[in-house]
Chains A and B, each alone.
Chain A
Amino acid sequence: MSAVTAAAASAAQETTVRVTRSRRPAGWLVLIAVAAIAVLGYLPYVVYSGTTDQLVNVFILLTMASMWNLLAGYAGLVSVGQQAFIGLGAYFVLIAAQHGMNPFAALPVAALGCGAIGLVVWWLVSRLRGGYFAIATWVVASACALVISRFASLGGGTGAPLPGLSGLSPTLLTAYTYWIALAVTVVTLAAVYLIMRGRLGLVLTAVRDDEVGARSIGARVWRARQLVFVVAAVGCGAAGALLIISQLNVEPTAAFSVQWSAEMIFATIIGGIGTIEGPIIGTVVFFVLQQTLSQYNAWYLIILGLVAIAIALWAPRGLWGLVAEPAHVRLFPVGYWLWPADEPGPQRRRLGGLLRGKRQARDASAAPRRSRQ
């Protein structure tokens, strides 16, 4: 890993090493991100609704994959039960809409509700590791599906349509759905990025690289995992809420299907588990393959499964790792780079300097220059 973790960062304070977040100036990435969001946000004005509908599915998958990456890639929690929160997120929106709430306004409520459920589920499964954790979360998801399908008011086993959106014209509905999905995805990625840049991210990176080592330097691993589980529940709840809004109905077996887990796991593994960029690349690859192979029914999942197995075995850092690691490219600078004092470090080009000046100054003051003994 190019990232050095807590121990090295604190050691840096005693030498003349300067610490920066990335190897190269990364300020221009902010501009690219803003431009990309602006272009994506403008799309409903220029493309057909079929395209934006497809992109909504991409955004849903990207949200789920980012959450699963946070769970498995950083916290070491291989959950095969995230579909519990996808289904619950969808049904929470349905319940709110049945009581007269606007489905779009219900989305954040549903996501937070999933976070609360996530806290309860965590209490149930937190002692488990590895395969135990995987199947226990899966059982929780199946139990949720069975409980939900008992309520006749929610359509029982056959599902129910989502009320409350019939007043909108189809064009407007498609555009609103698209913008909400884009917003959810941007918020998710920003949240993951901010988490990984903060103290929690440092703990998670340490856990990812060496759990025993992380514990031995006093990292509160349990608390970090709990937070990640709840965040992932919120994210998957939002994805589920998007699902019901984009499809306008919900059905328990589809909403709680383990296929969601398959998709988020495959997208993450193929793109690169344990990096923020991985799920993005993986989602794009997944979606392109899905579109290309869609006329061959189940084949796309067979091929994606085989590709995911091959990558898990022979290229565990995924496609992003294959490309980015040799080139030291990072779209989301969450690591630390150490610069000896006699080396100038990243050149402060105009843009990068403008956006990063403050941060670098703080980093520099945190690492007072002292002559080596």
Chain B
Amino acid sequence: MSWVNAIIQGVLLGGLYALFACGLSLMFGVMKVINLAHGDLAVVAGYVAVGVIAVTHIPTVWSFVLVVPVMAVLGYVLQRTLIQASLNRGLLTPLLVTFGLSVVIENGLLQFFSANSHSLNIGSLVSDSISVGSQISIAYLLLVIFVVAVVVLLGLQYFLSVSRQGRLIRAVADDREAAQLAGADYRHVFGIAAAIAFATVALAGIAFGMYSSFDPTIGTDQLLLFAFAAVVIGGLGSLWGTLAGGIILGVAQQIGAQINSADQILAGYLIFLLVLLIRPQGLTGARTPS
């Protein structure tokens, strides 16, 4: 039964990873940028939430109402300045710039908030769970995060396929020059896409802060790599692939933890490397990544 429990926990955890991953996937899909500061931005969102809660005393679960818009604006501004500037300067520059950004953010957080870990206190919700039988217990929090992740992915899918802005984003992603000829301001569209990506990463950062404690280094040590692993396992360009990738990563980690509690993270990486080896385009991808 403990194996079934591990798999259920892994699936739910996969929702959180998919939430982390969808912003990374969106930015790569539209701007062709792998944002190496992605994990750190989630941590930034966590610290912004800590600050917002301390100042306004709003309930923790509602902090996203303020944090998500702040991160979205930050995303738009960063995209229109640093990331756009790096995009104009060749293939390597965006990687170097976002990596530099990642180091600056991580050490900035260390400088101002110290290496102590923080968490977002949500009272009893963190431990409340539904018990099924004697061995299986499903934490409300993870269940809520999973539902949020699915809703966000659904919303994103709907937004990209139906709304005017969404179609504009897809047009620019498919063929930037043609979209420009048709009158689209691709820089603005890139900004919107980055704002959406940062909004999802803000949600993920808050959710992670409720689920576990975080410190300035966890963004690069774990979150970026988990998000990227979920994207690669699932395959680029498919939001449902990202969800599947997150779930596979989560299940692999939980099964690894079941074998040996020290092996949780390693098991996730091994699955990632295995997928890279036998199916580099991911589960849903049709072509090899370039």
Residues of A participating in the B interface, judged by any CB pair closer than 8 Å: 72, 76, 78, 80, 124-125, 127-132, 134-136, 138-140, 142-143, 146-147, 150, 258, 261-262, 265-266, 269, 273, 297-299, 301-302, 305-306, 308-309, 312-313, 316
Contact residues in B for A76 (Cβ distance below 8 Å)? 91-92
Expressed in whole angstroms, the Cα–Cα distance for A52 and B280 within the complex equals 47
B108 & A146 in contact (Cβ 8 Å cutoff): no
Contact residues in A for B82 (Cβ distance below 8 Å)? 309, 313
Chain A residue nearest to B90 (CB atoms) is A316
Chain A residue nearest to B236 (CB atoms) is A132
A316 & B93 in contact (Cβ 8 Å cutoff): yes
25 A-B pairs (CB sep. < 8 Å): A76-B91, A78-B96, A128-B289, A130-B34, A131-B33, A131-B36, A131-B94, A135-B34, A136-B273, A136-B276, A139-B269, A146-B266, A150-B263, A262-B99, A266-B100, A269-B96, A297-B111, A298-B107, A299-B107, A302-B107, A302-B111, A305-B107, A308-B100, A312-B89, A313-B85
Tell me if B228 counts as interface (CB < 8 A to partner A). Answer: yes
**Chain B, 275-287, contact with A by CB distance < 8 Å: what is the 0/1 string?**
0110010000000
- Chain B residues with a Cβ closer than 8 Å to the other chain, count: 46
A132 & B93 in contact (Cβ 8 Å cutoff): no
**Chain B, 136-174, contact with A by CB distance < 8 Å: what is the 0/1 string?**
000000000000000000000000000000000000000
Tell me if B52 counts as interface (CB < 8 A to partner A). Answer: no
Interface class of chain A by DSSP: helix
Contact residues in A for B276 (Cβ distance below 8 Å)? 124-125, 128, 136
Contact residues in A for B277 (Cβ distance below 8 Å)? 124
Expressed in whole angstroms, the Cα–Cα distance for A297 and B110 within the complex equals 9
In the complex, how many angstroms separate the beta carbon of B17 from the nearest chain A beta carbon?
14
In the complex, how many angstroms separate the beta carbon of B21 from the nearest chain A beta carbon?
12
Expressed in whole angstroms, the Cα–Cα distance for A3 and B230 within the complex equals 43
A265 & B266 in contact (Cβ 8 Å cutoff): no
Expressed in whole angstroms, the Cα–Cα distance for A301 and B216 within the complex equals 14
Contact residues in B for A138 (Cβ distance below 8 Å)? 224-225
Tell me if B179 counts as interface (CB < 8 A to partner A). Answer: no
Partner of A312, one of B86, B111, B262: B86
Closest 8 CB pairs of A and B: A131-B34, A305-B104, A298-B107, A309-B100, A146-B266, A143-B269, A305-B103, A301-B107
Tell me if B232 counts as interface (CB < 8 A to partner A). Answer: yes
Chain B residue nearest to A309 (CB atoms) is B100
Expressed in whole angstroms, the Cα–Cα distance for A262 and B92 within the complex equals 15
Contact residues in B for A140 (Cβ distance below 8 Å)? 273
